[in-house]
Amino acid sequence: MSAADLAPAEPAPWAGFVRRRGEGRIPFQYCTSCERAVFYPRVLCPHCGSLELEWRDSIGAGVVYSQTFLPTREGGGRYVLLVDFDEGFRVMGSSTDDTGAYAIGSRVRGAVDTSDPEAEPRFVFTEEKQG
């Protein structure tokens, strides 16, 4: 095995994540060795130690795992959700509906809010309507 075999395919995966998210994608890494999703971005697969990580984009479909309400000093606030994407990884983001909570286990659609050029893009979730 040579040194090149041990070099990670992407030595700074966080930069790759930030770039992809800035393009409005929901990026995650996928280990082609153990066939599992990896998130946050890593150099090594946390499941099996492989360097064989590739970028994929989530289709944005997931289920609410948990949520909490974050009040602001000015009054009001926003719901912050933990969502399990169908591809097998969990992310934190905000609800697009500031008036109501989503039920644990409800289906949501994720997207990336890049509307504020002064702010870091963030994951946002909208509840999928039934029927």
Q: Which is nearer to Zn ion, 46 or 76 (CB)?
A: 46
Round to whole Å and give the CA distance between 126 and 94.
9
Judged by beta carbon, residue 31 or residue 124, the one nearer Zn ion is: 31
Closest to Zn ion by CB, 39 or 125 = 39
Minimum distance from residue 9 beta carbon to Zn ion (Å): 13
Q: Residue type at 40?
A: Y
The H-or-E segment that residue 127 falls in is strand 122-127
Distance between CA atoms of residues 53 and 61, nearest Å: 22
- SS3 (DSSP) at 3: helix
Which residues lie near Zn ion (CB under 5 A)? 31, 33-34, 45, 47-48, 50
Nearest approach in angstroms of CB 130 to Zn ion is: 35
